[in-house]
C-alpha cells in the first residue's frame, strides 16, 4: 500500500498537492483568495493613477511565485474581458529592487482600454515570468544613454530607476521624446529622480510643440547637445520603430533596443500546399505558406492579435485539424484541438482553425 | 425502421442542416461573461462540497457526519466529472482561454486519464455516434446493446456485465481506452497501447493514493471508515454516471446505424444521425446540472462544444426543428429511460427470436473482450 504514496510526499505542501490531485492546491486556494496561489503568478492592483488623459499607471503587488525581474524586461499581463482571457506584454517601469510592480499603459485597444477604464485598486491580474533580453549589462556601463519615445518610456525608466537605486557613479542621460508636455509621461517623477541623483540628466524633446528642452524628432545634433560623450556610452532605446532605426543608424553596435518588432522569419511560400479553413467564419483559402495570421487577414478576417512575433499570445486560436509549423522553433505539431499562435504558425498541408 | 438516408430528401437534409448551423452560430455568438460566471460558480460549489465532505469524514465516528460527508463528496465527484470535467474537456470553454478551463489541460477526479478519454470519447464516440463497429461506446466492447450485434453464448451474462460495469464504471471507462477488444482481434498491439497504459497507471495511482491511502491514513483510527466513505462516494458517482450515460444512447427507440449508410455523410446527415441516435432525460433544473446537462444528450450530440448550460435553452428550438421535419425527439423521465435500458440489456442477453430488418454480416459483430 505504501508504494502508492508518491515518493515526493516529504513536505506539507507536497502532501497537500497529493491530497488535492488532480486539480492541485492553487485551484482551491484561489477560491479563498485569488492572491493565495502558489504556482501561478498573479498581481493585486494596489493603486491606480492617471498621468495623462489617455494612459493609466497601475501599481501591482505580485503573488509569491513572482521571481523578480531585470530592468528592461517585459511581462505578459492577463485580464478577463467579457469572459475571455486576454494577454498583452508590458514592461514594468519601476526599479527592479521595488517589491511592487508599476505598469503604465497607453489606451489604444481592447486590453489597454480595459486596463484604463475597468481596473481599480483590489483587482487581480494574471502575470507571467518576466522575459526579454533588453537589459543592462551585469557590469554597469560608466556612461549610459537612455532614449525613449512615447510609451516606450517604460523599460528605459525601469533602467534609470534601477541605476539610481544602485547608486550608479557615472553619467546617465535620459532623453525622452513626446508630442508635447500634455502627453509627456513621468515628467514629475523624472524631475524628482534627477534631483535625487546628480549623475542623471533628464531631457524632454517635444516633436510637435514648443517648450521642451529639444524640438523635433531624433537627430545626431540632439545627441551632440545633451550627451557629447555618446561615443563612449552604451545606449538603450525603446520607442517607435523610426526612432529606434534612427538611433541605430547613428550609434551602430552600442545600441540596445527593445525588439518589439518581428524578427526576420523565413517562410517557404513556393512549396506550400493544402487548404486553410477558418471554421467559424466559413472562409477558406489556399495555403500560401505564410503565417496563419497573415493568411486570415488576406482572407478578409481580422483576428485579434498583438506582437505578431509569437510573444504575446494575443492571437492564440484553437486549431481543430491539421498540422502547423512553429516558425520560431521549426517544430511541427499535429495535435488535435490545440491552441496555437496564429502569427508564428505556418500550415503544413490542410489546416482548420476555429476562427 | 426507415434507413437513415431515406428520412428526408437531399434538399430537406440540407435545409435542416442549415437551420441547425444557424442555431449553433447564434448560440456561439452570445457566449460571454454569464457562461464563465456560471462555470466558476459550479466549480466553487464542487470544490466547497469536496472540502466539506473530506472534512466531515474526520468526524466519521459520528454516523450523521459520515453520511453527510459521503453525500457531499459524492455530489462533488459527480459535479467534477459531469458538469465540469466532461464539458470542459469537450472544449466548451476553450474560448475563454483560461488554462483552468482548457480542454487540453483539464484533468478530472476519476481514474481515467483525461487525455485517453478525450480520444475515445470526443473523437471516436462523438464522430461515429451509434455506428456499429465504429462507435466503441455501443456496449463498451463487453455488452450486447444492439440487435445487430451477433448473439454469442457469452452475452447470456449481459445483465451481470452491465451491473459490474455500473458498479466499477470509472475503471470501465479507464480500461475502455485500452481498446482491449482490438488487441484481442489483432488490430492493435500491446506495444501501441503502452503510452495509454503508462498514463493509466500514473493517474490511477494518484487517485487510489488519495482516496484509499492518504485520506484514510490522515484520519488515524477512523481509517477504515474514511476508506469506506471514499469508496461509497466513488460508487455513487459510478452508478449515477452509468445511469445517465446509458440513458443517453440505449433506450429502446434510439437507433443505430451501419458503416455503409453513413459512409458519405453531409453535415446535415451527420446532425440527423446525432438526433436519431440520442435520447434526452426530462427533469428539474437541478437534475440537469447533476447530469452535466447530459440529460440533453440530443443537443449535446448536435453541438458538443457549446457550453452545456445552454442546452436547455436551445432544446425547444431543436425540438421544433425535429417536428418540422417529422423526426423523432426521444425524451422521457429518468425512471422510464432506465427501465427501457434495463429491459434492452436483459432482452439482448438472449438470441434474437424474430427476424430484424437490419442485417449485418457476421464478421462485423462486436466481439467480446
When the pLDDT of each residue in chain B is averaged and rounded to a whole number, the result is: 91
**Sign of the alpha-carbon torsion through B75, B81, B87, B89:** positive
Place of cell 543592462: A136
SS3 of residue A188 by DSSP: helix
Of B35, B91, B213, the CB nearest to A337: B91
Cβ pair A15:B214 closer than 8 A: yes
List A234's β-bridge partners, or say none: A144
pLDDT tens digit sequence for B107-129: 999 999 998 998 889 888 998 99
pLDDT score, position A5:
52
pLDDT tens digit sequence for B261-292: 888 888 899 999 999 999 999 999 999 999 99
Cβ pair A82:B33 closer than 8 A: yes
Bridge pairing between strands A75-81 and A124-127: antiparallel
Cβ pair A23:B107 closer than 8 A: yes
Q: Which of B44-58, B153-167, B185-199, B222-236 has the lowest mean pLDDT?
A: B185-199
Euclidean distance between CA atoms B51 and A198, whole angstroms? 58
- Tell me how close the Cα of A81 comes to any Cα of chain B, in angstroms: 8
- Tell me how close the Cα of A285 comes to any Cα of chain B, in angstroms: 20
- Residues of B with a Cβ under 8 Å from any A Cβ are 28, 31-37, 43-44, 47-48, 51, 54, 91, 94-98, 100, 102-104, 107-109, 118, 122-123, 203, 205-210, 212-215, 218
Cβ pair B214:A19 closer than 8 A: yes
Residues of B with CB below 8 A from A336's CB? Answer: 123
Residue B367 has pLDDT above 80, yes or no: no
Cβ pair A339:B102 closer than 8 A: yes
Distance of CA B287 to the CA centre of its chain: 16
Reading the block at residue B107, the C-alpha cell is 484533468
Residues of A with CB below 8 A from B98's CB? Answer: 80, 85
pLDDT score, position A300:
87
Residues of B with CB below 8 A from A36's CB? Answer: none
pLDDT score, position A335:
80
- Tell me how close the Cα of B201 comes to any Cα of chain A, in angstroms: 11
Residues of B with CB below 8 A from A22's CB? Answer: 107-109, 203, 206-207
Mean pLDDT, contiguous 10-residue spans, chain A (355 residues)? 51 90 95 94 97 94 96 95 91 96 93 95 96 94 96 96 97 95 90 96 95 94 94 94 91 82 67 88 89 91 81 81 88 83 92 88
Q: Which of A122-126, A142-146, B179-183, B232-236 has the lowest mean pLDDT?
A: B179-183
Euclidean distance between CA atoms B358 and B130, whole angstroms? 14
Q: From B28, B92, B43, B98, select the one nearest B307 (Cα to Cα).
A: B92
What count of other Cβ atoms lies within 10 Å of the Cβ of residue A91? 28
**Sign of the alpha-carbon torsion through B331, B333, B334, B337:** negative
pLDDT score, position B140:
86
Mean pLDDT of B23-27: 94
The ipTM of this complex is: 0.90
Write the CA distances from B140 to A80, A144, B184, B201, integer angstroms: 41, 71, 14, 20
**Sign of the alpha-carbon torsion through A318, B111, B136, B8:** negative
Cβ pair B94:A337 closer than 8 A: yes
Distance of CA A151 to the CA centre of its chain: 12
- Tell me how close the Cα of B249 comes to any Cα of chain A, in angstroms: 25
Cβ pair A18:B214 closer than 8 A: yes
SS3 of residue A90 by DSSP: strand
Mean pLDDT of B56-80: 98
What count of other Cβ atoms lies within 10 Å of the Cβ of residue A145? 25
- How many residues in chain A? 355
Reading the block at residue A89, the C-alpha cell is 506584454
Reading the block at residue B313, the C-alpha cell is 435553452
Cβ pair A18:B206 closer than 8 A: yes
Write the CA distances from B88 to A278, A308, B68, integer angstroms: 22, 29, 28
Cβ pair A338:B104 closer than 8 A: yes
Distance of CA B310 to the CA centre of its chain: 18
pLDDT score, position A177:
96
- Residues of A with a Cβ under 8 Å from any B Cβ are 1-2, 4-6, 9, 15, 18-19, 21-23, 27-28, 31, 80, 82-87, 280, 316, 318, 336-339
Report residue A178: phi and psi, to 5°. -145, 170
Write the CA distances from A50 to A161, A202, B360, integer angstroms: 20, 22, 74
Residues of A with CB below 8 A from B108's CB? Answer: 22
Cβ-count burial of B38 within 10 angstroms (0-12 exposed, 13-18 middle, 19+ buried)? middle
pLDDT score, position B365:
38
The pTM score is 0.87
Q: From B222, B196, B161, B169, select the one nearest B369 (Cα to Cα).
A: B161
Reading the block at residue A249, the C-alpha cell is 543608424
Q: Give, as one character, the DSSP assignment of residue B201.
A: H
Helix extents (H) in chain A: 12-19, 26-32, 110-117, 153-165, 187-196, 220-226, 241-251, 292-298
Question: Number of CB pairs < 8 Å for A and B?
Answer: 83
- Cβ-proximal residues to B315 (8 Å cutoff; 6+ apart), any chain: B280, B296, B298, B299
Residue B361's pLDDT band (boundaries 50, 70, 90)?
very low
Residue B354 has pLDDT above 80, yes or no: no
Residues of A with CB below 8 A from B28's CB? Answer: 280
Cβ pair B97:A84 closer than 8 A: yes
Distance of CA B358 to the CA centre of its chain: 26
pLDDT tens digit sequence for B188-219: 888 888 988 999 999 999 999 999 999 999 99
Residues of B with CB below 8 A from A28's CB? Answer: 47, 51
pLDDT score, position A309:
79
User: What is the 3-state composition of chain B as percent helix, strand, coil, each rounded to the nearest 5?
Assistant: 65, 0, 30
Amino acid at each position: 500500500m505504501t508504494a502508492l504514496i508518491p515518493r515526493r510526499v516529504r513536505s506539507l505542501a507536497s502532501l497537500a498537492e497529493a491530497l488535492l490531485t488532480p486539480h492541485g492546491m492553487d485551484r482551491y486556494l484561489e477560491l479563498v483568495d485569488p492572491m493565495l496561489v502558489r504556482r501561478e503568478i498573479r498581481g493585486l492592483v494596489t493603486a491606480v493613477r492617471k498621468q495623462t488623459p489617455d494612459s493609466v499607471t497601475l501599481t501591482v503587488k505580485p503573488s509569491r511565485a513572482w521571481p523578480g525581474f531585470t530592468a528592461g524586461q517585459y511581462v505578459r499581463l492577463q485580464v478577463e474581458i467579457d469572459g475571455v482571457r486576454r494577454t498583452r506584454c508590458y514592461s514594468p517601469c519601476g526599479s527592479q529592487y521595488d517589491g511592487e510592480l508599476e505598469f503604465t499603459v497607453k489606451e489604444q485597444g481592447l486590453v489597454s482600454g480595459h486596463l484604463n477604464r475597468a481596473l481599480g485598486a483590489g483587482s487581480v491580474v494574471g502575470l507571467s515570468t518576466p522575459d526579454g533580453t533588453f537589459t543592462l549589462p551585469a557590469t554597469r556601463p560608466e556612461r549610459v544613454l537612455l532614449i525613449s519615445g512615447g510609451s516606450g518610456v517604460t523599460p528605459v525608466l525601469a533602467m534609470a530607476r534601477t541605476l539610481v537605486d544602485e547608486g550608479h557613479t557615472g553619467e546617465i542621460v535620459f532623453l525622452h521624446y513626446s508630442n508635447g508636455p500634455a502627453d509627456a509621461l513621468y515628467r514629475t517623477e523624472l524631475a524628482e529622480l534627477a534631483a535625487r541623483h546628480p549623475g542623471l540628466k533628464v531631457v524632454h524633446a517635444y516633436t510637435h510643440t514648443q517648450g521642451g528642452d529639444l524640438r523635433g524628432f531624433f537627430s545626431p545634433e540632439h545627441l551632440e547637445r545633451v550627451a557629447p560623450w555618446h561615443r563612449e556610452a552604451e545606449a538603450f532605446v525603446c520607442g517607435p520603430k523610426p526612432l529606434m532605426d534612427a538611433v541605430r543608424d547613428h550609434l551602430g553596435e552600442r545600441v540596445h533596443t527593445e525588439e518589439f518588432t518581428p524578427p526576420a522569419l523565413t517562410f517557404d511560400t513556393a512549396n506550400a500546399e493544402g487548404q486553410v479553413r477558418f471554421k467559424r467564419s466559413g472562409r477558406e483559402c489556399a495555403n500560401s505558406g505564410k503565417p496563419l495570421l497573415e493568411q486570415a487577414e488576406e482572407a478578409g478576417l481580422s483576428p485579434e492579435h498583438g506582437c505578431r512575433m509569437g510573444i504575446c499570445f494575443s492571437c492564440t486560436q484553437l486549431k481543430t485539424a491539421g498540422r502547423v509549423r512553429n516558425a520560431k522553433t521549426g517544430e511541427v505539431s499535429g495535435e488535435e484541438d490545440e491552441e496555437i499562435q496564429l502569427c508564428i504558425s505556418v500550415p503544413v498541408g490542410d489546416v482548420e482553425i476555429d476562427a | 425502421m426507415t434507413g437513415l438516408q431515406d428520412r428526408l430528401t437531399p434538399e430537406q437534409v440540407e435545409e435542416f442542416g442549415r437551420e441547425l448551423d444557424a442555431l449553433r452560430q447564434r448560440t456561439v455568438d452570445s457566449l460571454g461573461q454569464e457562461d464563465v460566471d456560471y462555470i466558476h460558480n459550479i466549480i466553487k460549489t464542487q470544490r466547497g462540497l469536496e472540502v466539506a465532505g473530506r472534512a466531515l469524514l474526520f468526524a466519521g465516528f459520528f454516523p450523521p457526519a459520515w453520511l453527510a460527508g459521503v453525500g457531499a463528496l459524492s455530489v462533488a465527484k459527480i459535479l467534477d466529472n459531469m458538469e465540469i470535467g466532461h464539458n470542459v474537456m469537450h472544449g466548451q470553454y476553450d474560448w475563454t482561454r483560461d488554462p483552468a478551463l482548457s480542454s487540453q489541460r483539464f484533468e478530472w477526479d476519476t481514474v481515467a486519464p483525461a487525455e485517453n478519454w478525450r480520444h475515445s470519447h470526443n473523437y471516436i464516440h462523438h464522430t461515429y455516434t451509434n455506428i456499429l463497429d465504429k462507435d466503441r461506446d455501443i456496449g463498451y466492447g463487453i455488452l450486447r446493446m444492439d440487435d445487430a450485434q451477433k448473439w454469442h453464448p457469452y452475452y447470456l451474462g449481459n445483465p451481470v456485465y452491465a451491473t459490474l460495469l455500473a458498479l466499477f464504471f470509472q475503471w470501465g471507462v479507464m480500461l475502455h481506452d485500452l481498446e482491449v477488444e482490438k488487441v484481442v482481434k489483432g488490430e492493435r498491439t500491446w506495444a501501441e497501447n503502452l503510452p495509454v497504459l503508462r498514463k493509466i497507471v500514473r493517474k490511477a495511482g494518484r487517485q487510489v493514493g488519495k482516496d484509499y491511502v492518504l485520506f484514510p491514513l490522515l484520519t488515524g483510527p477512523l481509517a477504515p471508515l474514511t476508506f469506506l466513505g471514499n469508496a461509497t462516494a466513488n460508487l455513487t458517482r459510478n452508478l449515477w454516471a452509468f445511469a445517465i450515460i446509458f440513458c443517453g444512447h440505449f433506450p429502446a427507440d434510439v437507433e443505430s446505424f451501419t458503416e455503409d449508410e453513413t459512409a458519405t455523410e453531409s453535415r446535415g446527415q451527420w446532425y440527423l444521425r446525432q438526433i436519431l441516435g440520442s435520447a434526452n432525460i426530462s427533469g428539474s433544473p437541478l437534475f440537469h446540472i447533476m447530469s452535466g446537462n447530459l440529460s440533453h444528450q440530443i443537443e449535446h450530440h448536435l453541438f458538443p462544444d457549446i457550453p452545456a448550460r445552454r442546452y436547455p435553452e436551445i432544446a425547444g428550438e431543436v425540438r421544433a426543428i425535429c417536428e418540422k421535419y417529422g423526426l423523432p425527439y426521444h425524451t422521457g423521465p429518468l425512471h422510464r429511460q432506465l427501465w427501457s435500458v434495463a429491459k434492452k440489456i436483459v432482452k439482448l442477453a438472449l438470441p434474437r427470436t424474430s427476424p430484424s430488418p437490419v442485417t449485418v454480416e457476421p464478421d462485423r459483430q462486436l466481439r467480446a473482450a
